[in-house]
Chains A and B, each alone.
Chain A
Amino acid sequence: MEYFAQQVINGLQLGFVYALIALGYTMVYGIVRLINFAHGDVFMVGAFIGLYTIERLQFPLPVVFLSAIIGCTILAVLIEQLAYRPLRHAPKIASLITAIGVSLFLEYFTSLRQVFGPNFYSFPRPFTVVGWEVRGIQVTNIQLVILAVTLVCLLMLQFIVYRTKMGRAMRAVSYDYVTAGLMGVNVNMVISFTFGVGAALAGVGGVLYGIAYPQVNTFMGFMPGLKAFTAAVLGGIGNIPGAVLGALIMGQSETMVSAYLSSTYRDGIAFVILILVLLWKPTGILGTRRSEKV
């Protein structure tokens, strides 16, 4: 029982980090129907901003998160304006290929020696790690930080989407961007904003990831990006609570397969679950054909 509880906690830690990345995929998809493959790499840039602000500039933790948020937001808005906006009315496949191109560009460009460099860097811990044992279950302050930061991000996102004018505009554009434009919503602005919010979450995710698994390199965004994208599809792409649910399921299934079967089967089984869910419900667990999509 303790063993099970411990594994649930391990899975939660993984799931929450996936959730922060998955939200960016799902929001962008909800608005422009684009799978933004460069999102995992924005997450990587967030981790590197964390590395530099902690190691070189020695900023306090909240400022580190803020720097990653600002840096990633600017990057994502630039990507949107330079790479995706010119293709907005082109066939969907053109945008998709462009997204893959941007992803590869970011990975290889940042791996140049003049940028981040091609190596693995150890990520400094901004605080000392403290562990507690509660009834035989090991908990660390890292896990608590991940939990707290992720929850704060989710609440803020909920607030932005449902309680602000911009959030209403986002929902309107998601529902029908032609009509929303005719009603006076600045569609371009809303799309840029959505990219920015998604990237801000990825930036926070990057820093948390660096703290939890203290090693970064420029290709680190690929696997978490893929897993988070899977989580978004599993939960119903375009649906915000769905992305979080999907990410938590991914985290748990990966952990439980490692815990009770073998870690060799882990990724295989995670994707089998995805395929089964999609066979049963092609739109994902919480996705409906034309629900509120942001």
Chain B
Amino acid sequence: MKRTLLLLALAVLLAGGGPGCKPPAGKEIKIGLITPLSGDVKTFGESVKNAFEIAVEEANAKGGVAGKMITPVIVDDRNDPTEASNAANLLINQHGVKAIVGSVTSKTTIPVSDIAQRYRIPTITPTATNPKVTVADGKRKDYVFRACYTDSFQGTVMAKFAREKLSAQTAAVLYDASNDYSKGIAEVFRDAFAVRGGKVTAYESYGKDDVDFSAVITKVKVSKPDVLFLPDYYNKVGLIAKQVKEKGMEGRLIGPDGWDSPELVKVAGEAIEGGYFSNHYSPEDTRPEVVNWVNKYREKFGQTPDALGTLTYDATKMMLEAIRMGNSDDPGKIRDALGSLKGFEGVTGKFTMDANGDPIKSAVIIQIRDGKQRFLQVVNP
């Protein structure tokens, strides 16, 4: 904690201290990207960066937007809220960006959204699903938008899926008490599962640095739940799944979009086999937008784009579209244009922004079979 404070103080000095560091307005529009390129969710950060670059390159190949070329500025936040705040200050005060795409996880995006709102810089997060990103204490942060659905939608989708498709009578939930994303989805799932007549037999938390889950798993195992809901990112889920298997616990593992990484199967191996999770898109979808996008990404990076990258592509394109609509890099105009988007055709579906800057769109359910992600079905809001 002390370490973090020290770094923060240093960052404030560096970022805010330099007088008059605003660059002159030129023939370019700078757009910042905040993404975790290292740390516990680095596969998220890498695909986000790849997708962002594709979207910017495409725009520049067409001669830029609103008569100006787009200059990307990319900063790593290591999936650390403090680092993310530093990154936002750096982008706004040093680089003078006109718009920000990012960050990726909810815990880093919440501080970023506060800073962006304070400086009135239009910001769109591709992937942060926690409600607090766009609304804080009942107050809408009107410069902040997102390209993904929110946790309440996601938690409800999985509760409904567990009850109706898996015919689960009982469910257990294990979540990270220090993570906004994890905690948020856990609460929604618990309530939504109970409302639909299911019984939540265990609702247990763990800490951010925990690696030994044997005690909680043993405790959860006693109630023999039909499904175990694990709302967390792939690294933690992998560790938990492995220990669930070793403790001989039955019951289907299900989770949210944080599972979407090839690393999950690498860490968990067989233990995650047969698990289901909700996601934003599936590369196996046959809509032409999806096929085009998957081919484009594969050609450039030699791998299949994950949902995070795909959402980033959509988010960046929406931001560029908003600049084009207002024909200006004026933050207020970009904000108004983003807020008024209706029926924008993205790879992950059609976007219409609601009053909170959250898009109304569908989810997909994916199953892990033979170590691969398999598309199961689309769930509409």
Contacts and interface: CB of A to CB of B under 8 A. Distances in A.
A4 B216 CA distance: 13
Contact of B235 (A6, A215, A254, A256): A215
Contact of A133 (B3, B214, B222, B248): B248
B247 interface: yes
Interface residues of B, number: 31
B119 interface: no
B215 A10 contact: yes
A11 B3 CA distance: 31
A3 interface: yes
A217 interface: yes
B81 to A, nearest CB: 16
Given A3-B222, A118-B39, A215-B235, A13 B214 contact: yes
B239 A140 contact: no
Interface string A1-42: 001001100110110000000000000000000000000000
Interface string A248-278: 0000001110110011101100000000000
A158 interface: no
A131 B215 CA distance: 17
A115 interface: no
A138 B248 contact: yes
A131 B246 contact: yes
22 contacts: A3-B222, A7-B215, A14-B212, A118-B38, A120-B235, A122-B267, A129-B246, A131-B248, A133-B248, A138-B246, A142-B246, A212-B212, A214-B242, A214-B267, A215-B239, A220-B211, A258-B216, A259-B215, A262-B204, A263-B215, A264-B205, A266-B207
Interface of B: 3, 38-40, 42, 78, 177, 204-207, 209-212, 214-216, 218-219, 222, 235, 238-239, 242, 246-248, 263, 266-267
Contacts of B206: 263
Contacts of A215: 211, 235, 238-239, 267
Contacts of A117: 38
A255 B40 contact: no
Contacts of B40: 119-120, 217
Contacts of B246: 129, 131, 138, 140, 142
Nearest to B243: A213
A152 interface: no
Interface residues of A, number: 38
Interface in A203-240: 209, 212-215, 217, 220, 222-223
A262 B222 CA distance: 15
Nearest to B234: A120
Contacts, number: 81
B238 to A, nearest CB: 7
A259 B42 contact: no
Contacts of B235: 120, 215
Contacts of B215: 7, 10-11, 254-256, 258-259, 263
Interface in A123-140: 129, 131, 133, 138, 140
A119 B38 contact: yes
Interface in A148-181: none
Nearest to A256: B215
Given A259-B219, A264-B177, 10 more contacts: A7-B215, A13-B212, A14-B212, A118-B78, A122-B238, A129-B246, A138-B246, A214-B242, A215-B239, A255-B215
A169 B224 CA distance: 56
B243 to A, nearest CB: 8
Interface in A173-213: 209, 212-213
A80 to B, nearest CB: 24
A10 B213 CA distance: 9
Contacts of A3: 218, 222
B199 to A, nearest CB: 19
Given A118-B39, A120-B235, A142-B246, A263 B205 contact: yes
A131 B177 CA distance: 30
Contacts of A212: 212
What are the 4 closest A-B residue pairs judged by CB atoms, nearest first? A258-B215, A118-B38, A213-B211, A10-B214
A213 B177 contact: no
A97 to B, nearest CB: 13
Contacts of A209: 211
B338 to A, nearest CB: 33
B7 to A, nearest CB: 11
